Amino acid sequence: MKKMIKNGTIVTATDTYTADVLIEDEKVRAIGQNLSDIYAEVIDASGYYVMPGGIDPHTHMEMPFGGTVTKDDFESGTIAAAHGGTTTIIDFCLSEKGSSLKNALNNWHAKSEGKAVIDYGFHLQIAEASERILKEMPRVIEEEGVTSFKIFMAYKNVLQADDETLFQTLITAKEHGGLVMVHAENGDVINYLTEKALKEGNTDPINHALTRPAELEGEATGRAAKLTALADSQLYVVHVTCKEAVEQIADARSKGFHVYGETCPQYLVLDQSNLEKPNFEGAKYVWSPPLRDKSNQGILWDALKTGQLQTIGSDHCSFDFKGQKELGKGDFSKIPNGGPFVEDRFSVLFSEGVKKGRISLNKFVDIISTKSAKLFGLFPQKGTIAPGSDADIVLFDPNKERTISVDTHQMNVDYSALEGMKVTGEPITVLSRGEYVIKDKRFVGKPGMGKFLKCDKFPRDAHEKIEKAGNLVK
Ligand code: URP
Ligand code: ZN
Ligand code: ZN
């Protein structure tokens, strides 16, 4: 059935204006003043922003990690995402040394098919750069619609790859239109510092942060950026947390290299002191890279505002406190790394960013949705409200005040890292390709209504033009 959104304020990455939106056959059909269609259901958006659905470029659903498996799967995780205003996630598909990329993708398709309630794509981990894997990468790009490849520079003896693997992946990605993503921390030095801390009897959660200093994130970020420049390739640095890493990205970008960066809401609103909470509660705040000293928060906000960082990912990697985070009692290195954020990413960025005057409303849409669509080959199908685009739309009440809590969140996890935080702004109704997923704050979708998205190749030429025009710094 057709739908007509009336009386709302449309907000995209570039414009804010009042108009009606006609939706038909999953797409935005028309935008204009006083549209009428007697066959369309009218949705009254008075007092609401009408925004493109959020695109979360960084999630880990049902992922084996840290001796356990993340708690949210593609069903509970995407329901929570939709409640939070997100209509697309790009999830990290893990691969195994000695096994094909196709096997890894089949495994992730099996986890997600029939479960997701919003659309989703995959990034694919490269665990080794064997001849077979490097030959398979172009096939994955052309046939599977997976065009972004992740290298872990940390998690020694588990996920970590060496620099040769990173460099060969960068070269292959450049040749075939892929985008390489890195978790940038120096895993070898972290391993040394971790073993030393444990030997000295320093076992509490705070030691997670103390053994992963910002210098090691800066060093790895700079190394990855320099290898990217040498390969004349393209790089996206996930979960940037600190001045040291922002500086490396800004330096590479100032020299014209294709280096992009993402931060996460947790690094904008939480800090290292959270890891010192008593009764092992600090474990709830264990991410890698770790939460940093508060002084980094302003640097990250500035980097988002000036375009040195382009996106925000939730890094949603949810574990219960009971039974999962508790695996690390008496040994901080066994605390599963990660936390629940897919539901709060949109609202936290709006409340702390737009409402507090740190970023403009249009910049918000760019960071929360549009830029990820552009970087990961989904634009203009996703990431904007325009005729022909998928009708992935959020009706957002910008003035609603509420308190984040485990008691009201939808994520399948037994704590909120933001318990008690007051935010302004709430997604009210969420459409995915024109169908209600959330209607008046209630989930009305069905598992399986979300579809797998084939991503286009990294649009390097388009990005070059945008950067030359200076638009990335808006
Ligand atoms: O602590 C984190 N970030 N957990 C998720 C895995 C990763 O490194 O992104
Ligand atoms: Zn990571
Ligand atoms: Zn992650």
Q: Does some domain include residue 19? A: no
- Structure tokens that stand for 457 in this block: 């190749």
Decide if 414 is inside a domain: no
Residue with tokens 């993340």: 70
- Strands ordered across the beta sheet of 27-32: 27-32, 20-24, 3-6, 41-44
Q: What's the number of domains the chain is made of? A: 1
- Asked if the peptide bond before residue 289 counts as cis, ω within 30 degrees of 0, the response is yes
Give per-residue pLDDT as tens, 135-166.
999 999 999 999 999 999 999 999 999 999 99
- The tally of CA atoms less than 13 A away on the side-chain side of residue 457 is 17
Query: 335: which residues sit within 8 A by CB, 6+ positions away?
Result: 66, 205, 208, 283, 286, 325, 327, 328
pLDDT at 470: 56
Q: Is 91 in the pocket of ligand 1 (CB under 6 A)?
A: no
With CA atoms as reference, report the closest residue to 429 among 128, 108, 46. 46
Q: Is 287 in the pocket of ligand 1 (CB under 6 A)?
A: yes
- Return the pLDDT at 473: 36
pLDDT score of 439 more than 50: yes
Q: Mean pLDDT over residues 183-193, rounded? A: 98
pLDDT digits (tens, 9 = 90+) for 306-343: 999 999 999 999 999 999 999 999 999 999 999 999 99
Q: Which residues have their alpha-adjacent CB atom under 5 A from ion ligand 3?
A: 315
- Count the Cβ atoms, other than its own, within 10 Å of residue 422: 10
Give the domain range for residue 198: 52-383+453-471
Predicted confidence at residue 159, as pLDDT, reads 98
**Averaged pLDDT for residues 237-243:** 99
455 versus 463: the higher-pLDDT residue is: 455
pLDDT at position 463: 72
Q: How far apart are CA 294 and CA 288, in angstroms?
A: 16
pLDDT tens digits, residue range 17-35? 999 999 999 999 999 999 9
Does residue 183 line the site of ligand 1, with CB under 6 A? yes
pLDDT at res. 460: 82
Nearest CA to ligand 1 atom 4: 338
In a domain, 77, yes or no: yes
Would you say residue 36 lies in a domain? no
Is residue 44, in this structure, part of any structural domain at all? no
Ligand 1 center–CA 31 separation, angstroms:
40
Q: What is the DSSP string of 98-137?
A: TS-HHHHHHHHHHHHTTT-SSEEEEEEE-----HHHHHHH
Determine the pLDDT at residue 469: 66
- Nearest Cα neighbor of 35 from 6, 1, 2 is 6
Task: Report the chain's mean pLDDT, rounded to a whole number.
Answer: 97
323 within domain boundaries: yes
SS3 200: coil
pLDDT at 471 over 60: no
More confident residue, 397 or 462: 397
- Residue 425, domain member (yes or no): no
Per-residue pLDDT reduced to its tens digit, 37-80: 999 999 999 999 999 999 999 999 999 999 999 999 999 999 99
- Residue 372 is part of a domain; what is its CATH number? 3.20.20.140
Q: Report DSSP letters for 307-370, one per residue.
A: TSS-EE---B----TTTTGGGGTT-GGGSPP-B--TTTHHHHIIIIIITTTSS-HHHHHIIIII
Q: What is the pTM of this model?
A: 0.97
Report yes or no on 369 lying in a domain: yes
Task: Collect contacts of 132-140 with beta carbons under 8 A, ≥24 apart.
Answer: 132/100, 133/100, 133/101, 134/168, 134/169, 134/172, 136/100, 136/101, 136/102, 137/101, 137/169, 137/172, 137/173, 137/176, 137/178, 138/172, 138/175, 138/176, 140/101, 140/102, 140/105
* 365-381 tens-digit pLDDT: 999 999 999 999 999 99
* pLDDT for 104: 98
Question: Which of 239, 262, 341 is the pocket-test mutation for ligand 1 (most atoms within 8 Å of CB)?
Answer: 239
What's the confidence (pLDDT) of residue 472? Answer: 42
Determine the average pLDDT of the residues in 399-413: 98
> With contact defined as beta carbons under 8 Å apart, do 270 and 417 qualify?
yes
Residue 43: CB atoms within 10 A of its CB come to 22
Q: Is the confidence at residue 263, as pLDDT, over 60?
A: yes
For 447-451, what is the mean pLDDT?
98
- Sequence-distant (≥ 6) Cβ neighbours of residue 298 within 8 angstroms: none
- CA dist 267 and 365 (Å) reads 19
* Portion of the chain with pLDDT greater than 90, in percent: 96
pLDDT at 132 over 90: yes
- On whether the CB atoms of residues 36 and 1 are closer than 8 A, the answer is no
Give the mean model confidence (pLDDT) for residues 77-95: 99
What are 125's strand-pairing partners? 150
Nearest CA to ligand 1 atom 9: 315
Contact 377, 455 (CB under 8 A): yes
> What confidence score (pLDDT) does residue 224 get?
99
